Amino acid sequence: MRSGKIYFIIILLMFIAGFFFYQYVFSIYEVTYKIVPDRLYADNKSNLIIEAVPLNSFGLRAPFRNSPSEFTISEGAELVEIVFIDKDKGIMKIKAKNNPGKVSITIKPKFSLFPSTIEIIIEANFA
């Protein structure tokens, strides 16, 4: 009888711990954007990667999770070329063309209520 209570308590504690990890570690609370590098140059070689990063309740990247996102170039589409886009993982890679200017990219992640807009300045390449 006593071992039955111990097993019940162990199972209950495992359930509580599993619930805690699911709610606070694996659930997505916010989506931020990682932009590498922080600027582009008008040299027809400069690349930039935008990644939607899902965050958990501790402000860390949610393990084993992606943030599917829709990317739309709303301004300056003629200044960049889309090299790679993966909507399921929330990654977009663009390459600058030869003209300087400003590019606006609207991102609508699946786990966010509102879309975000990122502005990228393409600087003139002076040697």
- Each domain of the chain, given as residue ranges in start order, spans 2-123
For the cut 60, the answer to whether the pLDDT of residue 127 exceeds it is no
Strand order through the sheet with 91-96: 30-36, 47-55, 91-96, 80-86
For the cut 70, the answer to whether the pLDDT of residue 1 exceeds it is no
For the cut 90, the answer to whether the pLDDT of residue 42 exceeds it is no
What is the average per-residue pLDDT within 92-108? 92
Residue ranges in the chain assigned as alpha helix (H): 2-21
Question: What does the alpha-carbon distance between residue 16 and residue 22 come to, in Å, rounded to a whole number?
Answer: 10
Q: What pLDDT was estimated at residue 95?
A: 93
DSSP classification of residue 62: P
According to CATH, the topology of domain 2-123 is: Immunoglobulin-like (2.60.40)
For the cut 80, the answer to whether the pLDDT of residue 87 exceeds it is yes
Residue 42 vs residues 20, 56, 110, 118: alpha-carbon distances, Å:
48, 37, 32, 18
For the cut 90, the answer to whether the pLDDT of residue 126 exceeds it is no
